[in-house]
Amino acid sequence: MIKGELSERVARLVEDRTPFVVATVVGARRPTSVRPGDTAVVLVDGTIEGFVGGACAESSVRLYSLRALETGEPVLLRLVPGEGGTEADESLDDAVVEHNPCLSGGALEIFLEPHSPAARIVIIGSSPIAVAVERLARAAGYDAVRPAVEEVHPGSGDAAVIVASHGSGEERVLSEALTAGVPYVALVASATRGAAVRAELEVPDELRAQLRTPAGFPIGARTADEIAISILAELVANRHAQPGRRAVVSNIDPVCGMELAVTASTPSLEIDGQRVFFCGAGCRDSYAERHARHGASS
């Protein structure tokens, strides 16, 4: 169970809609410095807050935590000493077993649970269609909000901005949403009115072309609920066609051969103009010393 300052940190991350992974030690075999129940939080930049093992364990926790965020699926990670690569262990309910050559002894089992905020949909308007979109989007698991138009300032973190207001301020909101790179920007309007609004948007032509209007797939929808369904179907199709999560970049430690995630938090050295990444400070220092000896003898 997460306690103390780490619990407060998790609460702030949830409030700020920041993705993270909770890593919890569920099993430990001596000799090891961690105990079951020890926890840490892993952020999208690879930063680890808390303690679930030393630097050697952290490298694997970082890699598989970022992969868990990428897939949205929890991972049971078993770290064992020695070489041998990575494998799935059916005896541990498909746990991922990582042979870690840096571990001095013992074994760890760490449960990695990803937490990603629900995608936010900003809906403008009080029309029956706007109300229906909000209701159905929430039922589909989205974080749907319907603020007053003057309170809306779209950002890149929004999954969609849908305007169904037939009122003032919509052109500003649409222009800001397109400029901010919101993946799905739609206007509920007839083809004629939609074309007129698009022409008035103060954005480059390539951004104007990204406005979806009339909003939704042409499925012959008539009622507010049917139109809302067509809009959500178009939104879902757009999200699956353009996944927003970045794939985890990995590399191999040149000293121990471990696979590791390449992040701002990964130990590294610049050697001969190239950045080399390591599982921990031990391998980094060893490589630097070896490289210095090689340079002195050549």
How far is 215 from 16, CA to CA, in rounded Å?
30
Confidence of residue 294 (pLDDT cuts 50, 70, 90): low
What's 149's DSSP letter? G
pLDDT top residue among 277 and 3:
277
pLDDT, position 90:
47
pLDDT top residue among 82 and 273:
273
φ/ψ of residue 274, rounded to 5: -120, 145
**Which has the minimum average pLDDT: 168-177, 194-203, 243-252, 257-266?**
243-252
Residue 160: pLDDT above 80?
Answer: yes
Residue with tokens 């500003």, as numbered in its chain: 172
Residue 130: pLDDT above 50?
Answer: yes
Q: Which positions ≥6 away from 163 have C-beta within 8 Å?
A: 124, 125, 170, 173, 174, 186, 187, 188
Residue 286: pLDDT above 50?
Answer: yes
pLDDT top residue among 150 and 82:
150
**Which has the minimum average pLDDT: 143-152, 199-208, 273-282?**
273-282
Q: Please name which of 18, 29, 20 lies closest in space to residue 2, comparing C-alpha atoms.
A: 20
Quote the Cα angle for 283-286-292, to 5°.
Answer: 140
How far is 35 from 81, CA to CA, in rounded Å?
17
pLDDT, position 8:
92
